[in-house]
Amino acid sequence: MGKVATNAIIDGGLDKVATCTTLTVCAGQPTSYADIAVRALASVTIDSGDFTKSDGDTSGRKVTVAQQTDMAIDTSGTADHVAIDDGTDYVITTATSQALTDTGTVTVPVFDYEISDPA
């Protein structure tokens, strides 16, 4: 028999992602919620309006996180990861590596988190 998950089941996980309230640009991959703050170079508050659910690119479903423009850089370093969190749980993704200087700003382009259909 084949494996099936309805969109509502998959969306449950994406709904949790969409409760995130902070987007943080990080130097290195955080290994825990507390480590996000240690690696933070810039952060911004986000809300439900920054998330859009839709069909996945190849299967399943995805939640798209809106672009965050001109975020103030708080600490200089090499950015290579982006984290979104709700104060406890988090999702981390890679980013194009770039040097950031604490007097500048950074823009995080649109990105998505996708859950594939069961295989």
Per-residue pLDDT tens over the stretch 22-53 = 999 999 999 999 999 999 999 999 999 999 99
**How many other CB atoms sit within 10 Å of the CB of residue 37?**
15
Q: What parts of the chain have a pLDDT lower than 70?
A: 1
Burial (CB count <10 Å: 0-12, 13-18, 19+), residue 93: middle
Q: Is the pTM of this model over 0.85?
A: yes
